[in-house]
Amino acid sequence: MTEPLFDTIAIIGPGLIGSSIARAARARSAVRRIVATARSPETRKRVVELGLADDVVETNAAAVEGADLVIVCVPVGACGAAAEEIGPHLKAGAIVSDVGSVKASIVRDMGPHLPEAVHFVPAHPVAGTEHTGPEAGFAELFENRWCILTPPEGTDPEAVARLAAFWRLLGANVEVMTPEHHDLVLAVTSHLPHLIAYTIVGTADELEAVTRSEVLKFSAGGFRDFTRIAASDPVMWRDVFLNNKDAVLEMLGRFNEDVAALTKAIRRGDGEALQEHFIRTRAIRRGVIEAGQDTPAPDFGRPHGHDD
**Is residue 122 within the footprint of ligand NAP (CB under 6 A)?**
no
**Contacting residue, 48, 78, 177, 265, with ligand NAP by CB under 6 A:** 78
Contact 73, 18 (CB under 8 A): yes
**Contacting residue, 125, 171, 179, 301, with ligand NAP by CB under 6 A:** 125
Contact 149, 165 (CB under 8 A): no
Q: Smallest distance from the beta carbon of 143 to ligand NAP, in angstroms? A: 14
**Contacting residue, 21, 31, 35, 38, with ligand NAP by CB under 6 A:** 38
**Is residue 37 within the footprint of ligand NAP (CB under 6 A)?**
no
Residue 65 vs 135, nearer CB to ligand NAP: 135
CA dist 20 and 39 (Å) reads 18
Q: Smallest distance from the beta carbon of 145 to ligand NAP, in angstroms? A: 9
C-alpha 62: how far from its chain's center? 25
Residue 249 Cα distances to 27, 145, 181, 195, 242, angstroms: 40, 26, 15, 11, 11
Q: Which residues, at least 6 apart from 106, have a Cβ–Cβ distance to it below 8 Å?
A: 76, 79, 98, 100, 122, 150, 179
Q: Smallest distance from the beta carbon of 304 to ligand NAP, in angstroms? A: 11
**Is residue 138 within the footprint of ligand NAP (CB under 6 A)?**
no
Task: Compute φ and ψ for 7, nearest 5 degrees.
Answer: -75, -65
Q: Smallest distance from the beta carbon of 186 to ligand NAP, in angstroms? A: 10
Contact 300, 229 (CB under 8 A): yes
Q: Smallest distance from the beta carbon of 146 to ligand NAP, in angstroms? A: 11
Tell me the residue type at 24.
Answer: A
What is the pattern of x (binds ligand NAP, CB under 6 A) and - over residues 167-206? ----------------------------------------
User: Which residues within the stretch 211-240 sit at the binding site for ligand NAP (CB under 6 A)?
Assistant: 233, 236
CA dist 90 and 47 (Å) reads 23
- Contacts with ligand NAP by CB under 6 A lie at 13-18, 38-40, 43, 73-76, 78, 99-101, 124-125, 128, 132-133, 233, 236, 300
